[in-house]
Amino acid sequence: MSFLERLYGILFQPVKTIREIIRKKPIWQSILVLILTGLLPAITAKIVYPKDLYGNGMNIFSSSQFYSIFMTMAIVSSIFLRPIMLFVSTSIYHLIAEFMGFKVCIKDDEKTFIEDGSNSDNQKDEASVGTGKGLYSALAFATLPMIFMVIINLIFRFTTVHYEWIFTLIFTIWVIVLDIISIRENYKMNNGNAALTFFLPFIVLIAIVILMMIFMGVVMAPAINEIMRNIHSMPAPY
């Protein structure tokens, strides 16, 4: 497939296209898609200048300074942070899939199968799936639906209504579905295991946060009680 065919396919023929992306691993194309789907929606977003940046009749930041800071952060985040964060996410999914017992094929060279005399299509496909590079490429292309936020942002940018979050939610769900398909096709697992692989890091993170809050509550409770006791024992001011 060409680059444009992949862009079309990820929207209208996602399963077939994701399988092809996993086999071919177009890393540079995937990074380009990842950057554009982060950068373009950010620079077209309706930026509301926070009123709390005003204080005592003086501006902490002018609107132009605030816009410059926002755009700089958006560019840096899209070009550098998004590819790095996706690399981390891919590594986590790859490790989870391996711990779950799914075959992770590290041989990405079809010559191995050709030399052995067994060059069926299934074996060739098996040799090119289950790799981190293939999953990274598929997950990057899976962010493509977010490009539609450019149109949505431009529509709402010059209006007083703020319904962008509805479309953001819709496109985010679309991206999550494509992510699960990418994991499923890369490791040849069923939908349930693919969904578990995708959501497990978030579940673990939420569990850790809850445990930390409980732990801090248990640790801090005696100190808080002591502080409150001291406050109540203080003599009333005259």
CA dihedral of 114, 120, 125, 128, whole degrees rounded to 10: -10
Cβ atoms of residues 93 and 135 within 8 Å: yes
With tokens 């590819």, the residue in question is 83
For residue 47, which phi and psi values (nearest 5 degrees)? -95, 120
Q: Which amino acid is at 123?
A: Q
CA distance 128 to 185: 11
CA distance 70 to 44: 12
Question: Over 80: is that where the pLDDT of 119 sits?
Answer: no
Residue 111: per-residue pLDDT = 42
Q: For 150-175, what is each residue's pLDDT tens digit?
A: 888 888 877 777 778 899 999 999 99
Query: What pTM did the predictor assign?
Result: 0.77
Average pLDDT value for residue range 16-38: 93
From residue 128, alpha-carbon distances to 25, 110, 138 in Å are: 9, 8, 13
What is the C-alpha end-to-end distance of the chain, expressed in Å? 84
Most confident among 69-73, 79-83, 164-168, 171-175 (mean pLDDT): 171-175
Residue 81: per-residue pLDDT = 92
Q: Which residues pair with 59 in a beta bridge?
A: 54
Q: Where are the beta strands (DSSP E) in the chain?
A: 54-55, 58-59
